[in-house]
């Protein structure tokens, strides 16, 4: 099979690196741009996994391809996903499986309107970011890729061989919201206060809890049964993270880059409004951050 990883940032870089172990049987293709692509082509992709450094080499690293692809791990940010599909339009067929792992709860729904390929819901838990061209830093041991149960027969053998921890869920939409609960709250709070995730838990636990409750209220209005159990799990996760662990939203806002404030924050406000709900804390932070 031809397996492409599109977007070699913190998420795609780590997934792509681990998939390189499949090269004896499958083609592993990295799709990247600019200096990051050049560095990977020249030196390989370095992964700093907590305190261990490893360099990985795909079958090839290119800016695009027209060869028909069997599986695409779409690891771009939400605002680049449409552009990525257009760029690879010649390589995408109705037999291609697209796995978008960007933040958000409606990515696959949006992408299905843009392509005849099969698009499945997916989400990933990881704390990582691009440190510099050709280098990805993963800050903790946390990693889990969550996929729909119907994809297990095809994907589990590949992912297990690659050493990627995965879970196949019969309730994938709920899994998306469980992750969204955490990343939306943490992304918004770290960006608002300019401190890492562990520090948010230590210094603003009450506010974090209140924001989590606001998000749960929107999920319930959308028919997703989240509650106290999921809120407590999000708090437990936060309590174990390094004080300075960043979120991608905070890093992007801090560095003046295009960001996912709309996906992680405004989406909730807009959806809450549809259900005649109010989110006072999320609204206050969004108004400041926008």
**pLDDT interval class at 27 (50, 70, 90):** very high
Q: What is the mean pLDDT of residues 7-13?
A: 96
Report the pLDDT value the prediction gives residue 248, as an integer from 0 to 100. Answer: 82
**pLDDT tens readout for residues 64-81:** 999 999 999 999 988 899
Specify the pLDDT at position 22: 98
The average pLDDT across 144-166 equals 97
Q: How many domains does the chain have?
A: 2
Q: What is the pTM of this model?
A: 0.88
Q: How far apart are CA 12 and CA 124, in angstroms?
A: 10
* Mean pLDDT, rounded, of the chain: 95
Do 195 and 95 lie in a common domain?
no
Q: Are residues 273 and 260 in the same domain?
A: yes
Question: What pLDDT is stored for residue 182 in this prediction?
Answer: 95
Q: What is the mean pLDDT of residues 183-211?
A: 97
Are 14 and 30 found together in one domain? yes
Domain span at residue 217 reads 174-289
Residues 131 and 7 in one domain: yes
Residues 128 and 20 in one domain: yes
What does the radius of gyration of the chain's CA atoms come to, in whole angstroms? 18
pLDDT for residue 268:
96
50 and 130 together in one domain:
yes
| Percent share of the chain, pLDDT over 90 | 90
pLDDT the model gives residue 288: 96
Last residue in a domain, options 139, 170, 201: 170
pLDDT for residue 92 is more than 90:
yes
Average pLDDT over residues 105-112: 92
Among 122, 154, 170, the domain boundary falls at 170
Give me the CATH number covering residue 215.
1.10.1040.10
pLDDT value at residue 134: 97
Is residue 127 domain-shared with residue 142, that is, in the same domain?
yes
pLDDT of residue 117: 97
Same domain? For 263 and 162 the reply is no
Confidence of residue 85 (pLDDT cuts 50, 70, 90): very high
Mean pLDDT of 270-279: 96
User: Based on the domain organization, do 87 and 198 belong to the same domain?
Assistant: no
Q: Answer yes or no: do 162 and 189 share one domain.
A: no
Same-domain check for residues 260 and 230: yes
Inform me whether the pLDDT recorded for 178 exceeds 90.
Answer: yes
Per-residue confidence at 17, pLDDT binned at 50, 70, 90? very high
Q: What is the CATH number of the domain that holds 127?
A: 3.40.50.720
Sign of CA dihedral 251, 259, 87, 152: positive
My answer on whether 141 and 188 are in the same domain is no
Q: Average pLDDT of 19-39? A: 97
- Residue at which a domain ends, from 138, 170, 202: 170
pLDDT reported for residue 127: 83
Under the banding of pLDDT at 50, 70 and 90, the label for residue 129 is confident
| Digit-coded pLDDT (tens) for 232-258 | 999 999 999 989 988 889 989 999 999
């Amino acid at each position: 099979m031809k397996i492409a990883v599109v977007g070699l940032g913190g998420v795609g870089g780590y997934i792509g690196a681990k998939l390189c172990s499949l090269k004896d049987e499958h083609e592993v293709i990295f799709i990247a741009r600019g200096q990051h692509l050049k560095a990977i082509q020249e030196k390989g992709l370095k992964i700093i996994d907590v305190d261990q450094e490893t360099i990985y080499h795909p079958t090839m690293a290119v800016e695009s391809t027209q060869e028909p692809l069997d599986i695409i791990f779409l690891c771009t940010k939400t605002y680049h996903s449409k552009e990525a599909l257009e760029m690879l339009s010649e390589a995408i067929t109705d037999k291609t499986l697209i796995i978008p792992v960007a933040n958000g709860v409606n990515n696959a729904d949006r992408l299905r309107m843009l392509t005849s390929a099969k698009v499945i819901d997916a989400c990933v838990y990881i704390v990582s970011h691009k440190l510099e061209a050709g280098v990805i830093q993963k800050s903790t041991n946390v990693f889990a890729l969550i996929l729909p149960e119907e994809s297990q027969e095809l994907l589990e053998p590949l992912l297990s061989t690659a050493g990627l921890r995965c879970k196949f869920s019969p309730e994938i939409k709920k899994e998306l919201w469980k992750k969204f609960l955490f990343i939306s709250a943490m992304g918004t709070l770290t960006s608002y206060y300019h401190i890492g995730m562990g520090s948010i838990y230590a210094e603003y636990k009450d506010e974090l809890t209140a924001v989590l409750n606001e998000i749960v209220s929107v999920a319930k209005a959308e028919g997703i049964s989240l509650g106290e159990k999921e809120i407590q799990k999000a708090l437990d996760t936060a309590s174990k993270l390094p004080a300075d662990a960043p979120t991608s939203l905070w890093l992007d806002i801090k560095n003046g880059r295009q960001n996912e404030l709309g996906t992680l924050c405004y989406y909730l406000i807009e959806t809450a409004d549809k259900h005649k709900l109010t989110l006072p804390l999320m609204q206050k932070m969004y108004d400041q951050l926008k």
